Structure 1
Amino acid sequence: MDNNQLSLIKATVPILKEHGVTLTKHFYQRMFTHNPELKNEFNMGNQANGRQQTALATAVLAYAEHIENPSVLIGALQSIGQKHVSLNITAAQYDIVGSHLIAAIKEVLQDVATEELLEAWTIAYNQLAKIMIDLEAGYYKENREKKGGWNGWRTFIINRIVEESTEIKSFYLTPKDNQPIASYHPGQYLSVKTFVEALGHEQPRQYSLSSAFNEKYYRISVKKENPENLPAGYVSNNLHNKKVGDQIEVSAPAGLFHIGEKPQQPLVLISGGVGITPMMSILEAQAEKENKIVWLHSCRNENVQAFKNEVNHYHENFKNVTAYTFFNELASETKYKKIGFMNLDEIKKDIILPDAKYYVCGPQAFIKAQFESLKKLGVQQDSIFYEEFGPQLLNLN
């Protein structure tokens, strides 16, 4: 890409800031019209609520702003690459996306989209596509060569279903082929794919693994959504209707939100609602270690609180584990069961620990509130890690 083309890309930054979502909405409409088979690969719930269009607009803008040095975006690109591999995205699909993106730029920007500009964006997109394809090839290779690992979709059987609360069920998944399964880092997720009758096609979704790794099964824990939240809840509610013995398609574990193999530092685990799931994986994997663990969870009431018995067990029987729960509704308050929204300042003596790492998962507003609270308490940003369900819209670090 020459200097003139770089300048052309940079010149589109103000346009993308103002009209980026309009562009991405048109792009997705165009792509699904011409390539309806891709509806099987994309989360149509996030299409309906606009989160995917906003996330793509944000990503395109960031790429344009850093076109001279896209390596500064590597963290975000790695996260996207992990998601793509979990969805079995192929190099050929990058060509489809690229053709529709350039066409959308031409159709939305009209006279502004000169041949020079379109050529510059074609080169820019191909440059980004190569970065992503090469990155994802490494992830595919790692999955393929790992003991029990695989690429693409693999059939699993629902071996057991456990009601964790009035809203959340755990699904124990065992491979239909009875072959070994891949290990994972506590905090990672699976993609699952199932046919959704209401949509008439398959839909993939990501669910955090909610237990420490064992060689027999994977466990995911899924919240049932209210009907008014559809279509975002189509797959979750579809899973809640499944029975023991049913089959679903599963991809290999993925994701960058995890504690690594042998964390030695204190861990502060902060979750809201169904954001509890990756924290359970971390808690189960680490409770018997010597490092300090502080568990902080927020939910509406005790009826919707998942894993309460398990968390109480660790809190009462492991000296290195301290667990606080915040409830919107609670009959009476105790030292470790609080009424109201999560207040980190109230328990700062327990959570501000030397060399601690802080993991946050939950709704977008919850993550942002806890991130800001931790910063006010003096926690450095590079010690805070968060997992946002769905397309990444937050950019806090």
Structure 2
Amino acid sequence: MTVASASIINNYFESKPLTPEHIQIIIDSVPILEHLDVQLTEKFYKRLLKQNPEFKPFFNETHQKLLRQPRIMIHFLIQYAKNIQDLTPMIDFIKKIASKHVGLQVKPEHYPKLGQVLINVIINLFPKQLVHDEFIEAWTLAYQNLANLLIKLESEQYVEKPWYGFKQFKVTRLQRECSDVKSLYITPVDGSPIPKPKRGQYLCMRWLLPGEKHEITREYSISEYPKNNEYRITVRYIPGGKVSNYIHNNINVGDIVYSGPPCGDCVYESSSKNLVFLAGGNGVTALLPMIEAGLTEGRQVKLLYSNRSTDSRSFGKLFQSYKLQYGDRFQVVEFLSRGRTIDPIDKFYRRSLTLEDLDFIVPEDDVYLIGPRTYMKMIEDYLKDRNITVKLDYFGPREI
């Protein structure tokens, strides 16, 4: 894997505006896209990966099997078609996709193959009487214009990154955090100084595991603000999880791993507001550097921390040390759904978190949320209904 430089790209494809006729064709496609739903995008991904196996590292098998990726893509296509005349209502959505692409190290040269497969799938699934030369031209131009926008947004981010591609790192330390969680400390093989990430960012890492034909990509939060020129990632063992099994059972100090630069938009923001952190299981890893910053800045910090038991709880000793150091400015409420409770950090309940536990949160609070998808969706929806802004990252296709 080589590390290259990047530059801003304004128009990768020839820029050509859509005609009024083209625009009408795209708008008229919306009801059919809605009818086809994930059938279209599921077929797209299957055909893409069959015809272009080199794309497999970009996609998580679980997200494909559970149709998370196809669902978010068909939602995106429908919104794009509806807003084809003015993309302003969905520009934030587009920017989030561009940021995800930067983390995965998607390159401009990937877009022609993606477009070719997408247009062919649209041609195959749309009613034959609608698929004529102008229809194909309209969708081809619409795709190329969207690709140009994404490539430009991505290239603007790439030029700000300390490297482009996946860089060699060496494992310097391994540390057990609890019964099923392990931390890895990594440093650049070339000895170069690591850039300081924003608190809350993650590393996108590529793994070529024994017996696998293709590399596997995983995103891991940087779980400690860097010290000693090392990044730390913290990984929970998942039965059947290819990479987590390898990390827990096979990786050793001195091994070489590959990582992209720090990425992610769900980052800590300094202010005088009270901080509320909602952590489900290993989601706490993304929040650790933020909790440290909030306490250091003198803010009031409250952590609602959900785990199965104290046996599977990471960083309990660290939080206990914060409690001793910062007293009432740091409050922890643990929700332990099953198993024994030994050495709680602060206040705790032997049950799962409920929505009523969130009623103390007010719109003036800074709220950060990371955890399992169902946990996050439940909390996000509840707080949004109360006009409370939540900063979060689903680490994969966003729930819709």
Inter-partner Cα distance in structure 2 for 1:270 and 1:117: 48
Question: Does residue 178 of structure 2 align to residue 165 of structure 1?
Answer: yes
Q: Could you state the TM-score of these two structures normalised by the residue count of structure 2?
A: 0.89
Deviation at 1:212, TM superposition (A): 1.9
The answer to whether the Cα contact below 8 Å between 1:193 and 1:248 also exists between their aligned partners in 2 is yes
1:250-308 CA-partner distances (Å, limit 9, x unpaired): 00001111113x33322111011221111112112332111111111111111111111
More divergent stretch after superposition (311-320 vs 264-273): 311-320
Inter-partner Cα distance in structure 2 for 1:234 and 1:245: 20
Tell me the residue number matched to 1:96: 113
Tell me the residue number matched to 1:114: 132
Question: Does residue 318 of structure 2 align to residue 310 of structure 1?
Answer: yes
The 1:162/1:312 distance shift into structure 2, 3 A limit, reads same
What aligned pairs does 1:1-397 form with structure 2 within 5 A after superposition? 1-111=18-128, 112-143=130-161, 149-214=162-227, 216-227=229-240, 233-240=241-248, 241-260=250-269, 262-319=270-327, 320-329=329-338, 331=340, 336-343=347-354, 345-346=356-357, 348-349=359-360, 351-352=361-362, 355-375=364-384, 378=386, 380-381=387-388, 383-394=389-400
Letter in 2 for 1:235: V
Inter-partner Cα distance in structure 1 for 2:355 and 2:100: 31
Letter in 1 for 2:101: H
Inter-partner Cα distance in structure 2 for 1:338 and 1:217: 36
Aligned residue pairs total: 378
Deviation at 1:236, TM superposition (A): 2.4
Inter-partner Cα distance in structure 1 for 2:353 and 2:147: 41
The answer to whether the Cα contact below 8 Å between 2:174 and 2:183 also exists between their aligned partners in 1 is yes
Letter in 2 for 1:386: L
1:146-170 CA-partner distances (Å, limit 9, x unpaired): xxx2111100111111111222111
Inter-partner Cα distance in structure 2 for 1:201 and 1:98: 22
Letter in 1 for 2:307: C
Inter-partner Cα distance in structure 2 for 1:24 and 1:160: 42
Inter-partner Cα distance in structure 2 for 1:272 and 1:95: 39
Q: Residue 295 of structure 1: SS of its match in structure 2?
A: strand
Tell me the residue number matched to 2:6: none
Could you tell me which runs of 5 or more consecutive residues in structure 1 were left unpaired when the two chains were aligned.
Answer: 144-148, 228-232
Q: Residue 67 of structure 1: SS of its match in structure 2?
A: coil
The answer to whether the Cα contact below 8 Å between 2:275 and 2:294 also exists between their aligned partners in 1 is no
Letter in 2 for 1:98: G
Inter-partner Cα distance in structure 1 for 2:297 and 2:101: 33
The answer to whether the Cα contact below 8 Å between 2:201 and 2:264 also exists between their aligned partners in 1 is yes
The answer to whether the Cα contact below 8 Å between 1:259 and 1:282 also exists between their aligned partners in 2 is yes
1:126-183 CA-partner distances (Å, limit 9, x unpaired): 111011110011101111xxxxx21111001111111112221111111111101111
Could you tell me which runs of 5 or more consecutive residues in structure 2 were left unpaired when the two chains were aligned.
Answer: 1-17
Inter-partner Cα distance in structure 2 for 1:42 and 1:166: 29
The answer to whether the Cα contact below 8 Å between 2:384 and 2:390 also exists between their aligned partners in 1 is no
The 1:171/1:83 distance shift into structure 2, 3 A limit, reads same
The 1:198/1:109 distance shift into structure 2, 3 A limit, reads farther
The 1:263/1:219 distance shift into structure 2, 3 A limit, reads farther
Tell me the residue number matched to 1:230: none
More divergent stretch after superposition (35-44 vs 152-161): 35-44
Inter-partner Cα distance in structure 2 for 1:244 and 1:208: 20
Inter-partner Cα distance in structure 1 for 2:382 and 2:399: 19
1:14-45 CA-partner distances (Å, limit 9, x unpaired): 22222131111221222222211112333333
Q: Could you state the TM-score of these two structures normalised by the residue count of structure 1?
A: 0.89
Letter in 1 for 2:164: N
Inter-partner Cα distance in structure 1 for 2:71 and 2:38: 6
Letter in 2 for 1:122: T
The answer to whether the Cα contact below 8 Å between 2:294 and 2:300 also exists between their aligned partners in 1 is no
Inter-partner Cα distance in structure 1 for 2:246 and 2:30: 41
Inter-partner Cα distance in structure 1 for 2:193 and 2:341: 47
Inter-partner Cα distance in structure 2 for 1:28 and 1:346: 40
The answer to whether the Cα contact below 8 Å between 1:181 and 1:215 also exists between their aligned partners in 2 is no
Inter-partner Cα distance in structure 2 for 1:170 and 1:132: 34
Letter in 1 for 2:49: F
The answer to whether the Cα contact below 8 Å between 1:211 and 1:284 also exists between their aligned partners in 2 is no
Q: Residue 201 of structure 1: SS of its match in structure 2?
A: coil
1:292-338 CA-partner distances (Å, limit 9, x unpaired): 11111111111111111111221232132111110102557987111
Inter-partner Cα distance in structure 2 for 1:14 and 1:68: 17
Deviation at 1:348, TM superposition (A): 4.0
Inter-partner Cα distance in structure 2 for 1:132 and 1:313: 45
Q: Residue 69 of structure 1: SS of its match in structure 2?
A: coil
